[in-house]
Structure 1
Amino acid sequence: MKKGVLLVNLGTPDSNNTGDVRKYLREFLMDERVIDIPFYKRWPLVNLIIAPFRAPKSAKEYKKVWTENGSPLLFYGIECKKLLQEKLGEGYHVALGMRYQNPSIESALNELKKQDISEIVVVPLFPQYASATTGSVAQKVMELTRNWQVIPDVSYVQHYHRHPLYIKTFADIGNKYLRSHDYDHVIFSFHGLPERQIIKADINTCCKLRGEGGTCNRKGYRKNTFCYRSACFETADLIAKELGLPDDKYSVCFQSRLGKDPWIQPYTEDTIIDLTKKGKKSVLAFSPAFVADCLETTVEVGEEYKEIFEENGGEHWQLVESLNDHPMWIKCLEDLVKGNEAHVPELFD
């Protein structure tokens, strides 16, 4: 019997038309793990306010990233599926699903079911664990498989934000820019989350965000592996160490705020403005929460933040592309599927 591998990314609209973008936003934002408020509040907020008004603007943004192969998120997902299948060989069957829209997780699971597989390894394509991403994928897989007559062994890769090959791939891509230009500063911009979701995930009750005016110590690694904010800082520090960057040469920040509630900080926009005030003219920007180019990397980090940087006196802004179909990234996926133990450097021995 074969072993099944289920790669899952967030998802993308079926097209860049407003109607398809609206449909995608509704499914995405109605997830109780994404907007974690009661249904009676979430439904009107998403369906009557956010999706109707945001869809036309988002559709224009999707047009900027759309290629002849469609969405880059989907295109690179398909490429990774093919390349990983080649690397794993005949003993495995790799399927690709999106948490929202197509190809759906359900269609991918049905594909695996037809292969008479003995077990399934679920690999959410989110390096840092968060309830709204990895947690949502796990919940969906459990909901879809619970009524199968024969339920195979199902395991989940919950995070790999410190896996050496993931770290080395980002460093390898970034190095080509560092070799060609003398940058004043490097930023690592991660997707943001509401602070309340970080606190909810605090299984060790050590979260410093608790209480009014709470602050978080960035170096609290491994006290709670499932703290998204801490995992992001660890990722940035490991990539910076691989690149040989001193502490004062890089910053970590968080993008994509939504609503009035506080999100994890520091915010990317604030960090950019602060850097320009300090006279930084040339910045290299990583977005390591994403393993494939998408709206949040190409447009938000690559274009919108570049505009903010230049409006405030900056001169040279360069986005580091994502892992996409890099050979070392495919090797990392193989390691994750096979459960290979990889040496993880201790930052603070």
Structure 2
Amino acid sequence: MNTFQSEFSFPLAEQNQEGILLMNLGTPDAPTPEAVRPYLRDFLSDYRVVELPKIIWQPILHGIILPFRSKKSAHAYKKVWLKEGSPLSVFTQRQVDGLRERLPENVHLAYAMTYGNPSVHEALTMLKSKGVGRLLVVPLYPQYAGSSTGAALDKVWKELQLQRNQMSIRTVSRFFNHTGYIKSLAAQIRNYRAQHGTGEKLMFSYHGIPQRHHDLGDPYPLECHETARLVAMELGLKENEYIVSFQSRFGRDKWLEPSTQDLFTDLPRKQKITKLDVICPGFVSDCVETMEEIAIAGREQFHQAGGTQFQYIPCLNDNADWLDALADLVAENSGGWIHFPTV
């Protein structure tokens, strides 16, 4: 039986303040196998991520995956770890700080990770201690997938079930076609190319999911393609000037195609595309999947296959245009909870 949490007691006038919770996937606390292992264990134990019965999957996870993948992942994290900590945590905190500057002073903000720290429980406990009773949850995944947005919101619902005095909750499940997000992405690409030159093709690389998830109803690849189409239209690109691909395959099941990693070899060898620009629109913050898998390993693979110019265009991170768009997204979804000053 669930045990309901002890609650903070506030006078009526101090209850039901407004809060915003930004959510992302998660990160280990340090770039070491010892820190990576519990993070991977929690991540890969989520049925939203790996849809296999526990009796089949858990022995494989603990006996094969974790002992080897923890070391490999720690090595990748070590390549991109920042002085302030994990890139994902650093950039997410900067987004919280930038959003705070764009919201009324009485709105409380926090961020949480689906796996790792800070946890959803910690973030919600902190917000409730401030008197927050009306909460807008924004998973920072523009395109919805059950294994990302769905898993994040599951954690919120689980915590809500344990609250004696439940918060009012609103959520943003996706924003793949939000005007501000599309325009900020287009501006990021345009500005980068203005400074560094333009490749022969622009690649939109998204994190992949198993093809089976889409076959069963997950809309993720449709939303990815629509984001790419809208950004390309904003940039005035023709269909042959960009390509959509999917990275980070895991396991032996069929995943979404085409594969980013396969294209890093095929583009220069088979299609004679030797100058490539890559952006990862499914991530709003740079992380190990963008900084190591694409900007480092992807660059090496592309050059080894005969490519001559590889340009990784950073994620939106704390770009001012993106933070403005994020504030607009909050305003549009707060449904009158948050009152912005009129200009």
TM-score by length of 1: 0.88
Q: Give the equivalent residue in structure 1 for 2:157.
A: 142
Q: Give the equivalent residue in structure 2 for 1:85.
A: 100
Structure 1 position 340, deviation (Å) = 5.7
SS at match of 1:290: coil
Q: Give the equivalent residue in structure 1 for 2:201.
A: 185
* Matches for 1:104-119 after TM superposition, within 5 Å: 104-119=119-134
Any gaps of 5 or more consecutive residues in structure 1? 203-225, 342-349
Counterpart of 1:306, as a letter, is: R
CA RMSD of aligned residues (A): 1.4
Contact in 1 for aligned 2:201/2:273 (Cα 8 Å): yes
CA distance in 2, matches of 1:153, 1:131: 23
* Matches for 1:58-77 after TM superposition, within 5 Å: 58-77=73-92
* Matches for 1:1-349 after TM superposition, within 5 Å: 1-179=16-194, 180-200=196-216, 202=217, 227-276=219-268, 277-339=270-332
Counterpart of 2:51, as a letter, is: D
CA distance in 2, matches of 1:269, 1:110: 41
String of CA shifts for 1:252-278, please: whole Å, max 9, x gaps.
000111111100111112223332122
Contact in 1 for aligned 2:264/2:301 (Cα 8 Å): yes
SS at match of 2:203: strand
SS at match of 2:189: helix
SS at match of 1:339: helix
Q: Give the equivalent residue in structure 2 for 1:210.
A: none
CA distance in 2, matches of 1:51, 1:338: 42
String of CA shifts for 1:42-96, please: whole Å, max 9, x gaps.
2112221111111111111101110110011001111111221221122310111
String of CA shifts for 1:126-159, please: whole Å, max 9, x gaps.
1100101110111111111112121121111000
String of CA shifts for 1:217-265, please: whole Å, max 9, x gaps.
xxxxxxxxx5100111011111111111111011100011111110011
- 35-44 or 268-277, which deviates more: 268-277
CA distance in 1, matches of 2:57, 2:106: 44
Contact in 1 for aligned 2:99/2:323 (Cα 8 Å): yes
SS at match of 1:10: strand
Counterpart of 2:93, as a letter, is: I
Sort the Cα spacing of 1:108 and 1:340 in 2 relative to 1 into closer, same or farther, 3 A. Answer: closer
SS at match of 2:132: coil
SS at match of 2:137: strand
Runs of 4+ in 1 over 3 A off after TM superposition: none
Counterpart of 1:336, as a letter, is: L
SS at match of 2:34: helix
- 269-278 or 80-89, which deviates more: 269-278
Counterpart of 1:117, as a letter, is: V
State, as a whole percentage, how many aligned pairs show the same letter: 40
String of CA shifts for 1:15-48, please: whole Å, max 9, x gaps.
0111001111111111110111111122112221
Contact in 1 for aligned 2:21/2:137 (Cα 8 Å): yes
CA distance in 2, matches of 1:289, 1:330: 16
Q: Give the equivalent residue in structure 1 for 2:9.
A: none
CA distance in 2, matches of 1:43, 1:279: 44
Structure 1 position 305, deviation (Å) = 1.4
CA distance in 1, matches of 2:151, 2:17: 26
CA distance in 2, matches of 1:49, 1:166: 40
Structure 1 position 176, deviation (Å) = 2.4
CA distance in 2, matches of 1:128, 1:92: 26
TM-score by length of 2: 0.90
CA distance in 1, matches of 2:152, 2:220: 16
